[in-house]
Amino acid sequence: MWVEAPARDMLGAGRRFPARGGGEHKTVIPLSILLPMSVRKKSGGVPPSDIPLFPARVGLRHGAVPGRARYSVDGLYRSAVTRAKLEHGLAGDPQVTRARIDLRTGNLLVEFDRALSHEEMAWRIDGLLDGKAMAPGVAKDPVSPRQNKPGRKKPVPGTHEPSPASAPRVAEGWHAVPLEEALAAVAARREGLGVEEAASRLREQGPNELPVGEPRSDLALFLDQFKSLPVAMLGGSAIMSFATGSPLDALVTLGVVGANGGVGYAMESGAEKTIRDITGHGEHRVLVRREGAVRDIASREVVPGDIVVLTPGAFIEADARIIEAIGLTVDESSLTGESVPVPKHAGTLDDRDAPLGERANCIFRGTIVDGGSGLAVVMATGVETEIGRIQALTGEARPPQTPIERELERMGRHLVYLSLGVCGGVFALGVARGLGTMPMLKSAVALAVAAVPEGLPAIATSTLALGLGELKKKNVLVRRLEAVEGLGSLNVLCFDKTGTLTQNKMTVESLLVGAETVHLGVDGFGTEDGHADLTRHEMKKFLEVAALCSEVRIEQNGNGPLFHGSPTEVALVDLAARGGVDVAAVRDDNPADRIVYRTERRKFMVSRHHRISEEKISLAVKGSPDQVLQHCRVMEVDGVLGVIDDAARARIVAENERLGGEGLRVLGLAYSHDPGNDPDDPKDLIWLGLVAMKDPLRGGMADLMAEFHKAGIRTVMITGDQPATAHAIAREVGLAGDAAPVVVDAAKLDSLSPEEFRRTIASGNVFARVSPARKLEIIRALQETGMRVGMTGDGINDGPALRAADVGIAMGQGGAQSAQDVADVVIRDDDLTTLGAGIAQGRATYANIRKAIHFLLATNLSEIAVIAAETMSPGDQLESPMEMFWINLVTDVLPALGLALEEPEQGIMSVPPRDPDAPMFTPDYYKMLASEAGIISASALAAHGYGLLRYGPGPRTRSLTFSTLVGAQLLHALSCRHDRFHGLTGGELFGNKYLNGTLAAAGALQVLPLAWPPLRRLLGLAPIGISDGLVIGGGMLASFAGNEYLLARRTMKDAASHPVS
C-alpha cells in the first residue's frame, strides 16, 4: 500500500516527483516505514500479505471521514498511564491536529493530516503504547499531558473544523493560544450556546461529572473477611467433616468462620458508614450564557463551549479560559496548595509549559471565585478536567499491604503448609499401621483443626476492631481495620501545608503604622512597650482604610457581625472590628461609588468614596507595598504629615522584605482626602503603613512534630506554596527539629538524575511548588527506600498521594470530598494532634496482636504434638475433632483476647518504629515457640501416660489429657504478657485485668464439659476424681514453671549480649 502526502509533512521520506498539473511536490511513502521495525525487517520493507492492516491492540471503530478516526485501544480503559503515553506521543506528532481520549470507553478520537490513512495512524498509536514513537521534549507530567512543547506544530485555524455538536477539546495548552483560537477550538460564541446545541453537546460529551468512588458493597465487605488460606483450610475441613459423616463438626467449623467474618464486617461497615456520613455528595448550580441570556443550570449540564458567569463565592465546575476579568481572584488552594487567592486576567500566556498555579488566564474545576467577577469559556468538563486527570491518577495508585497484613498472610500460608504436611503424614502413618482409612481421615481432620488456630483471624480482627473503636472515640475514623496497625508502623509522615498544618484562612500578624510596630495576639494590639494606642490618628485611619477598601459582605446575627469574602479582605475587616471600628457605620459615612481592582501589572486596589466632609476619605488603597509606596508622597506619624524621605522609604522597603522573607503576605495601605484624585492613577497618597498576614498554624503543631521526632518518625512537608512561605512554616512548626529545614523546589527535580533524585528526596524536609503528580512521585520515592509513608492532606491535589501512601490521612471538616474518598483515615474534627494517639494505638495494637499470636501458635503447636504422639502410640485413642474445637474456641480465643487488650507499654512513643521489613517472628522465635509448645505438650502427654497406665485408652484418659493440656495452655497466657522475665510478682503476672477475667471465664468453661453430662458425652470425656485432679494440677504447674524458666534464661542471655553501658 502506498500513500501520498505533502513533502514538507513527511520529513523527506520516500522519493519526490512533480504533482500532476504542477504545483506542490509530493512524496510517495511506503506504508512499511510506518510499521514497527520488527515487521519491516521480516518483510524487507514491504508489508507482507500476512501482516494485518491494523495492529492487534488498536481497532478502528469509526473512520468514515478522511483525517478523522475513532479507535479502540487495548489497555486504555480507565488507565491514566496509557492515556498519558498516548497524549504525550500524539502531542509530539506534527501530523496530529487534535486528540481526545475517553477513559470510560477506552476509545481514542484523533484528527490528523488527511494524507495519512486510518491504518497508518493506527500503527503510530500502537507504537506509542510501547513508547517507541515518543517525540523528544514531550511533557512528562501525567497530570497535564496536553501542554504544547517547543517545536509543536500549531493547528491551522479552520482546518478540519469539527461540527459544533462535537465540541472537541483542544489538544494543545489552551492557556498559551490566542483567545479567539481557544473559542474557535470549542466552537464557542460570546453570547453563549444555543439550547439545542448545548443539549446535543451534552449527549455527545456526557454529563459534567467525575466518577465517584463507590464504597464497597455490604457483600464485598463481608466476603473480604474470608480471603485467607487458613479460612479456606477451615472451610475444607468442614467439607471433609461432612464427607466423613460428622455434620456437627462441620457446622461448628463453619460457625467459627462465619463469626470471625461477622466481627470484621461489623467494624469495617460501621467505619465506612461514618465516613460516608461526613462526605456527602452535593451538586452546585452554575450561571452560564445561553442564547444571550444568563441561565442557572445544574453543574452536570455544563458542556465545552459554554460561557460561564463568574461571581464571588461561585464554585467553578469546569476548566475554562478567561474571557473577561474584573478584579477576579480565585482560591485554588484545593488544587495547587497555594493559600493566597490568585488574580486572573484574560490575556495569553507565552509559556506553554506553565504549571497550573501559574496559568493566570485559566480557571479550574474544584476551585472557588474569591473576589471580583468575569466570564470564561469552558474548555474541558468531567474526566477531561485537571481534577479528572488527578482522579484518574489517583485510581492508578494503590497502597501496599500493611506489615500485619503481610505477616498474617505469610504466617497463615506457613500454617496451612505445616498442617497439610503433618495431616498427610499422620494419615499415611495410621493407614500403614492398619488403623483404617475412614478413622484416620477423621483423625487427619482433627489434626487440621488443631493445626489451624481458629482464633487467629478472630483475634487479629477483634484487636484491630478494638483499636478502631478507641480511635473513633478520638474522632479518628479508620476505613480499613489493617490501617489501625498501619499507623503504628509509619516511619515517615508527609504533610500538606494549606488546610492541614495551617487553618486555610488569613489572620493579621503585625502592623507597621507610622513609626510603630504593632503585634496582634490573644491580648489584642501590642507593642514592645505594652498595648498599642488605637486612638492615634494614623491608627484610626489605618483601620478605616482596612474596612473600606474591600468587598466584604457583612451579615448581622445574635453574636455580632459575620464577614464574608476573600480570606485576605475578611482578615483586614476583622482587624478593623477588633480595633474598635464600627465597619458598617464607617461604610455608611464613606459610601463607595467605584472600585478599581488590582491587575497583573497594577497590583493594588482602589476604592473611591463619596466625601461627606473634610475628614472623610476620598480614596482608600491597599496592595503591593512597593507599588502603593510609589504613589505616596507623605506619611503620617503621630498625627503629623511629613514627606517620605529616602531613609523612611528604605525602612519601609526593608521591613516589607523582612516580613515577606518570613513567609508572610504583606500589603501596604494608603489614602487620600482629595476628591479630585484619579482612582485609575492615584497620586500624592498618604502612606499609612504595612499589614502582615499569614495562614496560621493549627494549634499544637510544634508539639506534635516534637512528639513524632521523639517516636523516630521523620516529618516532611509537601506543598504547592512558594519556597519562602514553605520554609517559614517549616521553621515555625519545627519540621526538622532543631536543624534548619532543607527546602527543595520541585521545579529543580526535573533536571536531576535518578540517583540525585533519590538522594534529594531522602534528604529534603520541605518540597515546595509541588504538583499532584510530583507529590505521588515523592511518596513512591520514599517508599522505594523502604520507608513506611503516611500522607496527610485535605485538598483535591492530595488525592493521588493519599491513595499511594501506606496510610492516607484526610481532614474531615475542611477536607475535599475526593481526598476523604481515597483516604484510609479521616480526622473528623480536623484536630491533627490526635494523630499521635493514633500512632500510639497502632503500635500497641501490633504489640498486642503479636502477644496473642505468640500464645495461639505455641498452644496450637502443643496440640499438634499431642495428637501426633498419640497417633504413634499403638492402640491409643486420639483426641476428637470436637475436643480440638473446644480447646481452640474456649481456651485459645478467650486468653488471646485478653492479651489483645493489654495496656500499651510505657514509653511506646519514645522508641523508633520497628523495621517494616522485619518479620513478626524470626527463626529464633519459632524455635522458642517450639520449645514452649514442647513443654506444654510434654505435661499433657505425661498425664496421658498416667491415664493409659491407670485406665487404659478411653474417655478417662482423654479427660486427663484434655484437662492438663487446657490448664497448661491457660497458664501459658500469663507467660506471654512480656517478652522479658520480670519476676513472678502479682503485678507482673496479673496486671492485665482483661486477661484475668478471660482466664477466669475460660477456666469456668473448662469445668463445664467435665460436670455437665450432655457436653461430656459430646466431647467423649468422663468424670475425673481427686487424684486425677492432682495430676492435672501438677502438669499445669510444671508446664508454667518450665516456660517461665525458658523466659528467664532468654532474658539473661539478651542482657549478656546487650549490656547496659
> Is residue 665 domain-resident?
yes
Which of 838, 859, 880 is the C-terminal boundary of a domain? 838
Tens of pLDDT, residue by residue over 758-805, are 889 989 999 988 877 788 889 988 988 889 999 998 877 777 788 888
Among 435, 422, 485, 445, smallest CA distance to 933 is for 422
Averaged pLDDT, 876-881: 66
> Would you place residue 168 in the very low, low, confident or very high pLDDT band (cuts 50, 70, 90)?
very low
Question: Lowest-confidence range among 38-42, 456-460, 670-674?
Answer: 38-42
Q: Which residue has the higher pLDDT, 112 or 983?
A: 112
Higher pLDDT, 628 or 228: 628
- Predicted pLDDT of residue 943: 95
Picking from 30, 48, 66, the residue at the C-terminal end of a domain is 48
For 961, residues 6+ apart whose C-beta sits below 8 A from its C-beta are 866, 879, 940, 941, 943, 944, 947
Residue 414 lies in a domain: no
Task: Enter the DSSP assignment of 1.
Answer: -
Tell me, yes or no, whether 249 lies in a domain: no
557 and 649 in a common domain: yes
pLDDT top residue among 368 and 224: 368
CA–CA separation, 847 and 857 (whole Å)? 15
Over residues 976-993, mean pLDDT: 79
Report the pLDDT value the prediction gives residue 629, as an integer from 0 to 100.
Answer: 95
Burial state string for 913-933 with b = 16 or more CB within 10 A and e = fewer than 16: bbebeeebbeeeeeebbeebb
Tell me, yes or no, whether 911 lies in a domain: no
Of 249, 496, 574, 798, which residue is the catalytic one?
Answer: 496
Residue 549 is assigned to a structural domain of this protein: yes
Place of cell 479502540: 72
Beta pairing partners, 288:
295, 308
Asked whether residue 27 falls in the same domain as residue 6, the answer is yes
Q: How would you classify the pairing of strands 293-298 and 362-363?
A: unpaired
Structural contact between residues 375 and 310, judged by C-beta atoms closer than 8 angstroms? yes
Burial class (CB in 10 A: 0-12, 13-18, 19+), 399: buried
Residue range 465-502, pLDDT digits in tens = 777 778 888 888 887 777 887 898 899 999 988 878 88
- The question of whether 1028 is a catalytic residue gets the answer no
Indicate if the pLDDT at residue 1 is higher than 80: no
Distance from C-alpha of 1004 to C-alpha of 639, rounded to nearest angstrom: 88
Mean pLDDT, residues 427-441: 76
Phi-psi region of 1020 (alpha: psi -120 to 50; beta: other; left: phi over 0): left
Residue closest to 990 by CA, chosen among 1015, 971, 1013:
971
Say yes or no: 638 and 751 in one domain. Answer: no
Q: Say whether both 589 and 655 belong to one domain.
A: yes
Q: What does the pLDDT read at residue 476?
A: 87
Report pLDDT for 494: 95
Within-domain flag for 479: yes
pLDDT of residue 149: 32
Q: How many domains does the chain have?
A: 5
Give the model's pLDDT for residue 547.
Answer: 93
Is residue 344 classed exposed, middle or buried when 0-12, 13-18 and 19+ CB atoms within 10 A define those classes?
buried
Rounded mean pLDDT, 232-261: 73
Query: pLDDT at position 160, please?
Result: 32
Q: Which of 630, 663, 694 is the last residue of a domain?
A: 694
Burial of 435 (0-12, 13-18, 19+ CB in 10 A): middle
The neighbouring-strand residues paired with 826 are: 477, 810
Task: Specify which residues 685 forms β-bridges with.
Answer: 632
Is 193 in a helix, a strand, or coil?
Answer: strand
Supply the pLDDT for residue 874: 66
The sign one gets for the Cα dihedral 566, 569, 572, 578 is: negative
pLDDT over threshold 60, residue 400: no
648 shares a domain with 766: no
C-alpha cell at 801: 498521594
Are 567 and 684 in a shared domain? yes
Tell me the pLDDT tens digit for each residue of 375-396. 999 999 988 888 887 766 655 5
Q: What is the pLDDT of residue 1053?
A: 84
Assess whether 707 and 810 both reside in one domain: yes
Q: What is the pLDDT of residue 38?
A: 36
Name the residue with higher pLDDT: 208 or 434: 208
Whole-angstrom distance, CA of residue 952 vs CA of residue 761:
71
Beta pairing, strands 362-363 & 553-557:
unpaired
Parent domain of 159: 139-206+303-380
- Regarding whether 702 and 676 lie in a shared domain, the answer is no
- The upper half-sphere exposure of residue 780, i.e. CA atoms within 13 Å in the direction of its Cβ, equals 14
Give the global pTM. Answer: 0.62
- 593 and 723 belong to one structural domain: no
Tell me phi and psi for residue 44, to 5 degrees: 70, 25
CATH of the domain at 766: 3.40.50.1000
In a domain, 889, yes or no: no
CB 302 within 8 A of CB 838: no
Identity of the residue numbered 223: L
Stretch (H or E) spanning 328 = strand 319-331
CB neighbourhood size of 476 (10 A): 24
Tell me if 515 is assigned to some domain.
yes
Mean pLDDT of 924-938: 91
Gap between the Cα atoms of 855 and 44, Å rounded: 71
Q: What is the DSSP letter of 596?
A: E
- How crowded is the C-beta side of 625, counted as CA atoms within 13 Å? 25
Q: Does residue 19 register a pLDDT over 50?
A: no
User: Is pLDDT of 304 > 80?
Assistant: yes
Share of the chain above pLDDT 90, in %: 24
The answer on pLDDT for 714 being more than 90 is yes
3-state secondary structure 210-268: CCCCCCCCHHHHHHHCCCCHHHHHHHHHHHHHHHCCCHHHHHHHHHHHHHHHHHHHHHH
User: Left (φ > 0), alpha (ψ -120 to 50) or beta: where does 1052 sit?
Assistant: alpha
Residue 65 and residue 120 in one domain: yes
Query: In the predicted model, is pLDDT for residue 1025 greater than 70?
Result: yes
pLDDT tens figures, 60-119:
887 767 788 888 888 887 676 677 778 777 877 778 887 888 776 788 888 888 888 888
Which of the four pLDDT bands, split at 50, 70 and 90, describes residue 139?
Answer: very low
pLDDT per residue as tens digits for the range 501-547: 888 788 899 999 988 888 887 667 877 666 778 888 899 999 999 99
Most confident option among 426-435, 719-728, 817-826, 949-958 = 949-958
- Give pLDDT, residue 881: 67
Q: Are residues 119 and 158 in the same domain?
A: no
Neighbouring-strand partners of residue 315: 368
What is the domain-level CATH number for residue 362? Answer: 2.70.150.10
Grid coordinates given for 362: 485559566
Together in a domain, 122 and 201: no
Task: Give the largest Cα separation in the chain, rounded.
Answer: 120
Alpha-carbon span 354 to 399, nearest angstrom? 30
List Cα–Cα distances, 269 to 273, 276, 485, 993, in angstroms: 6, 10, 18, 30
